[in-house]
Structure 1
Amino acid sequence: MVKTISAKEIAQKVINHEDLFIIDARNTDDFDDWKIEGRNVKVHNTPYFDLLEGIDPIKDVLPKDQAIYVVCAKGGSSEFVAEQIEEAGYTHVYSIEGGMKAWSEHLEPVKIGDLKDGGSLYQFVRIGKGCLSYLVESNGEAAIIDTARMIEQYEDFMSGKDFKLVALLDTHLHADHISGGRKLAEKVGAKYYLPPKDAEEVTFQYEPLQDGHEIKVGNTVIRSVYSPGHTIGSTSFIIDDQYLLTGDILFIDSIGRPDLAGLAQDWVGDLRNTLYKRYKELADELLVLPAHYMGINEMNDDGSISEKLGVLYAENHGLQIDSEDTFRKTVTENLPPQPNSYQEIRQMNMGKIDPDIEEQREMEIGPNRCAVR
C-alpha cells in the first residue's frame, strides 16, 4: 500500500527549507497557475493521464537517493502515480493526502514574538495560498485578525490554552478568500469588527472599526489606523507599539491593488496617500505583518513573513515611485489576473450568499492575487 503524507507535514518541511522533490500530476494549465513552492523545492509536472501506462515519461527526472512526493488536485490520482513509481523500484515515495485542496487549506502557526506586558503574537501562514492571519493572546484573552475560513485550525491551536477569544477583526472586506471571522465570533460569543466603509452592503451586525479605535485584549492594546487604498475601508492595526498589521495595503515585496471592487481610479489616490504619507508618519522600527505574501522569497528563516517598516521604505519597489502619474499607471495597468471567484467571495463576506463547503473550497482554489506586480 502506498505511503501518504499530510499537507501539514509538507508545509513544515517547506518552512524548514528542507530539500523536496515533487511530481505534480495535475493538468499543466492548473500547474502553471499554482503549485507547491519553497526555497529548496523542486517540482516536476507531468499530467496523470500521461502516466496511466507507466512512469517512462518521468523516469529521467526521478531522483535515486531522495524521497519523492506526488500531488494532484484531491489526492486520488497521486496515490495511483505514487504506486506506479514505487513498483518501478523507488522506495521512499509518498502521496500527499488531500492534494492541492488540502495544501490550500493548511494553516501553520509561527510565533512572531512576545508582547511587552505578557502574552504573544502568532502568525498563521496559509502556505498554499499566501494568506496570513494573526492571533494575539494576552492575560487570558485573545483576538484573531484576518481569520481564514478554516476556523477549526484556530480552535485546535487554542485548545487547552488558558485564554478566551474575545475579538475577531478583519482589516477589510476580503475578495480573495472567505473570512472565518464572523462565523468564529458567533460560535464563541466574541465581537466581530469590520471597517464600516467596507460594510455598507453587509447583511449582519458587526462592531465598526474607526480610525484610532482601541481594542483591549488582556494587557495589550490593538489600535486601528485608517489606511484606505486596497479597499475604501482598509484599516491597519498597531499592536503593542511594536507591530503594524497592514492588511492588503503593504506587502514585503509589493503593494496592494486598488481594483477588486471595480474602483481602481477612485481609490488609487487613497492608496498613494496611505503608503507615501500616512505610513511615513509611523515609526521605522514597527514590524510590518501583512495579510498576504506573494512568493516564498519573502519568507524569513523561521517561516514568518515580516520586515521593519523602515527597511520596506528603502527596498520595497512599490514605495520608490516618486511620480504620482507613474504610480497611478503602475497600480491600475500593471495588475495580475483578478482572484478566482472574487465577486462571489465578496458576496459571501457580505453575508449575501451561503454556498456549501465544497463550493467554498472551489471558490478559494488558486493563488492570492492581491498585489501589484
Structure 2
Amino acid sequence: MPTSPTPSTASAAADASGGFGAVVRHPLFWPVVALVALLAVNTAVRPGFLSVSILDDHLFGSPIDILRNCAPLMLVALGMSLVIATRGIDLSVGAVVAISGAVALTFIAGAPDPASTTTVFLAIGMALVLGLVLGVWNGFLVSVLGIQPIIATLILMTAGRGVAMLITEGQITTVTSAPFKTLGAGYWLGLPVATLVAFGVFGLVALLVRRTALGMLVESVGINPAASRLAGVRARTIVWTVFALSGLFSGLAGLILSSNVMAADANNAGLFIELDAILAVVIGGTSLAGGKFSLSGTFVGVLIIATLSLTVTNVGISPLVTPLFKALVVAAVTLLQSPAMRRKLAERTRRRGRTAPVPPSDKPADVSTDKVVA
C-alpha cells in the first residue's frame, strides 16, 4: 500500500530547498555568477586565459593583468561605497584623480633630480594631501552647509579638470623617474605593486569598518540621519570623514594611473571613473538609498567591470562598445538582485520544495487492525 512521507524526509527536502533558496537570495550570488560567466567566455575564446606563468620572478597572465588594471578603480569604489552608505554620492572622484596626477608629475618634472626617491615621496605626499583636502572640501559643503551631495561634488567635478589643466599649463606632462614608475608598473614579491597597494588599503578599511563601530555608525547615518543624531551619533563628522576618505583614495588612484603611463593628462586621466565606481558599488548590492553597504560586493563589482573590459577586447569587439556591455551587465545583475525578482525566485524554490518527490521510507508501514469481538 502507498506510504505517506515521513516527517524526517519531508523536513530534509524542505531544508535542502531552503538552503538553495538562501544561496540564491544572497546578495553576492548573482554578481559572482556574472563574474564566473565572464571568465568562462574568455576561457572559451582563449583557452589559456586563466593560466599564470612566472617570468623574471614576476607573475604574468590575464588574471594578473585584471588585478593590476582594477587597482585604481578599486580605490575609488572603496571611497564611493562609504559615501553612498551615508546617502551621498561623489561625482568629483575623476577630477581628483586628474588633479592628483597633475600635481605629482609637475613637481617631479620641475625637480632637479626626478629620479630621486626623496623627490618622488614628496610628490606622492603632496598629491595625497591635496586629495584629502579636496575630499574635506566636499564634506564641508555637504555636512556643514547642507548642500545636496550630487550638487556639492558636481562643483568640483566641473572645476577640477580646469584646475588640473592650470597645473599642467594645458600640456601632457611626462617624466622619467624609475622610483615613481614602480608605483604603477612595478612588482614586489612577484605581484604588481599597484595591486598590493590597492588591496592593502581595501583590506585595512574593511577591517576597520567591520571590526570597529565605524561601519555601524556609517550605516546608522545612512539609514536615518535624524535618528542617529538623537542617539548621540555625530552624523556630521561621519559624513565629513567618508568624503575626506573618498578624496584621499581618489588621490592615490590618480598616482597609480599617472605612474602607469608616466604622464599626466588632465583631460583624460580618470575620465568616467566615477561612473565605473558607482556601477561597481551597485553591482555589489549596495543601495543608493544609503544604509547597509557591502565592501565584498564592491570588490566583486570591480572585478566584473575590469574583466568585462578585457572580455570585449578578447572577443574582438571594438572597445568603443564597452559602455554598452557594461550597461547590459549592470541591468541584468541589478534586475536579478531586485526585491521583486528575489521574491519570485524564493517562491519558486519553496514551491519546488513542496512538490519535490519524497523517497520511500525503509520503515514498515504502521497498519492498524480492528479488534473483533466474538
Bigger radius of gyration:
2
Fold shared per TM-score above 0.5? no
TM-score, with structure 1 as normaliser: 0.21
Ranked by relative contact order (alpha carbons within 8 Å, sequence separation 6 or more), the top structure is 2
TM-score, with structure 2 as normaliser: 0.21
Structure showing the higher strand proportion among its residues: 1
Structure showing the higher helix proportion among its residues: 2
